[in-house]
Structure 1
Amino acid sequence: MTFVLLWIRHRKGKRAPPQAESLSTVRRERISYNELLQAADGLSESNLIGFGSFGSVYKGILSSGTIIAVKVFNLQQDAAFKSFDTECEALCSLRHRNLVKVITSCSNLDFKALVLQYMPNGSLEKYLYSHNYFLDIRQRLSIMIDVACALKYLHHGCSSPVIHCDLKPSNVLLDEDMVAHLRDFGISKLLGEYQGDLYTKTFATLGYIAPEYGQDGLVSTKCDVYSYGIMLLETFTRRKPSEFEEDLRLKQWANYSLPDAVIDVADTNLVPPIDNHVMKKLDCVASIMNVALDCCSESPARRTNMKDAVGMLQKIRIQLLAC
């Protein structure tokens, strides 16, 4: 009898870890379809705050008082199903202070949505192009360092490199402290352990696409570096890549003016002539643009990597603090 009792206790002890794992899974936060509808006022137009690649984003308030963003996928687009799965797989496994946090997901046959961390200050695009908002040099640099840190994590800090594939100002969101968070992984790619690149038919936003991506569908981490370089130029010139036509492009326009005529390409509101440190700040802007041009070289092999880009931009930030 003693032997039997000891044997039963031993078997129960072996089963304990799976039971504990099951309990933790049950306790994980879940939000039902009805809760989401109630939180976002039935997904009314008054709660609409933006659009993603494959759906719309609504502001919502949970019964707990937590403010959320609800990304609802447009299931009339065939690609939306794959996009939902891609974002779930990517974002649920990624953890970084400069990535938009996924709280949970909600999915049934007719409805797919992601519940995301709410960003009260909107997008970088809003701050660059709205007349009601303004970012100074330090704020712009801080935001772009945040984005670079997110890419450094995706490219070098994950078990397998993740390529975002659609970097642009509208995909950079700002929290209450103006810390930048990268969003919209709907067309992101995950490289295998021994892959340096891959081929895809997915198309990103014109103006930010690396040449090898647009022409041949060849995707690597260097494609993100190129897009980042274009966005870095855009942030400090306040000129969209789509503004340029024919053979002239944003990076060529900036390159023609460096280093002697940086004031001609920098955002006119960025360094007022009456600023006591105007020359030092213009030197910093020129240095930032040189980093951007290193990122968006035509040849992928000549582009810098995000580790080095972060280091160079952080050195420039130290110089700016002295102004």
Structure 2
Amino acid sequence: MLLDGTDVAAKILNLQVDGAFRSFDAKCQVLRTVRHRNLVKVISSCSNPEVRALVLKYMPNGSLEYDLEGRVSMKCDIYSYGIMLLEIFTRKRPTDEMFAGELSLRQLVKGSLPNSIAEAVDGNLIRLIEDSENMIAYLLLILEVGLECCAELPEERINIKDVVTKLNKIKLQLVRDGHT
């Protein structure tokens, strides 16, 4: 625990293992490019000839790849897919500074539907489709699928077959309406 009360997890590199330096550098590179704030937050690192370590914020059940019991499951992949859908249409990442407090990408989108969609969706996308009411309706349907994918509890998340069915139905409607 840090002086400010933050729980931390430390990953200390065993320098006696062959390839340890390369492994540490690779882990640091991955952690620098992580897109989802729920995966990891690096607080500090230590790299000197005697020791190499990462100090991470301790996040119980913080990973997006695990469910609440810490097991890998299809429901975790569905969650990530839903977040990705929301990212595509909002052009916002879960790691954006606007989500530093209690607000999350999922909450932003959920709170904007159905009447305030322009508050969450990428402004350039809205300008492209604002003259077509049907396109707004399709966008709402896609965002709703994204929200169903990233429901908070794994058992509340839609399954992938239903995701594919819903998205294909939206695609067919778009084609039928001449929006290809």
Shorter-chain TM-score category?
Answer: 0.5 to 0.7
Mapped to 2, the partners of 1:309 and 1:222 lie a distance apart of 12
Match of 1:235 in 2: 88
Mapped to 2, the partners of 1:228 and 1:247 lie a distance apart of 22
Identity of aligned residues (%): 41
Match for 1:220: what amino acid? S
Higher relative contact order (CA 8 A, sep 6+): 2
Query: Contact 2:85–2:143 (CA<8 Å) still a contact in 1?
Result: yes
Distance 1:217 1:263, change over 3 A: same
How do 1:124-143 and structure 2 match up within 5 A?
none
Match of 2:22 in 1: 76
Match of 2:172 in 1: 318
2:77 matches 1:224: yes
2:161 matches 1:307: yes
How do 1:119-198 and structure 2 match up within 5 A?
none
Deviation string 1:28-56 (CA, Å, 9 cap, x unpaired) is xxxxxxxxxxxxxxxxxxxxxxxxxxxxx
Deviation string 1:216-242 (CA, Å, 9 cap, x unpaired) is 532111000001100100000000110
Match of 2:123 in 1: 268
Mapped to 1, the partners of 2:71 and 2:79 lie a distance apart of 13
How do 1:259-298 and structure 2 match up within 5 A?
259-272=114-127, 276-277=131-132, 279-298=133-152
Mapped to 2, the partners of 1:319 and 1:270 lie a distance apart of 19
Structure 2 residue matching 1:270: 3-state secondary structure? helix
Mapped to 1, the partners of 2:159 and 2:67 lie a distance apart of 20
Per the normalisation by structure 1, the TM-score is 0.34
Per the normalisation by structure 2, the TM-score is 0.60
Mapped to 1, the partners of 2:88 and 2:103 lie a distance apart of 18
Query: Contact 2:83–2:150 (CA<8 Å) still a contact in 1?
Result: yes
Equivalent residues, number: 124
Bigger radius of gyration among the two: 1
Mapped to 2, the partners of 1:234 and 1:253 lie a distance apart of 11
Deviation string 1:98-125 (CA, Å, 9 cap, x unpaired) is xxxxxxxxxxxxxxxxxxxxxxxxxxxx
Mapped to 2, the partners of 1:282 and 1:300 lie a distance apart of 29
Query: Contact 1:209–1:223 (CA<8 Å) still a contact in 2?
Result: no
Match for 1:228: what amino acid? Y
Q: How far off its partner does 1:282 sit?
A: 1.0
2:66 paired residue among 166, 188, 213 = 213
Query: Contact 2:67–2:154 (CA<8 Å) still a contact in 1?
Result: no
Q: How far off its partner does 1:253 sit?
A: 0.6
Query: Contact 2:67–2:73 (CA<8 Å) still a contact in 1?
Result: no
Runs of 4+ in 1 over 3 A off after TM superposition: 273-276
Distance 1:311 1:261, change over 3 A: same
Q: How far off its partner does 1:269 sit?
A: 1.0
Greater fraction strand: 1
How do 1:195-206 and structure 2 match up within 5 A?
none
Mapped to 2, the partners of 1:305 and 1:167 lie a distance apart of 24
Match for 1:77: what amino acid? S
Mapped to 1, the partners of 2:35 and 2:162 lie a distance apart of 19
Deviation string 1:69-106 (CA, Å, 9 cap, x unpaired) is xxxxx98218x8xxxxxxxxxxxxxxxxxxxxxxxxxx
Cα RMSD (Å): 3.0
Structure 1 residue matching 2:95: 3-state secondary structure? helix
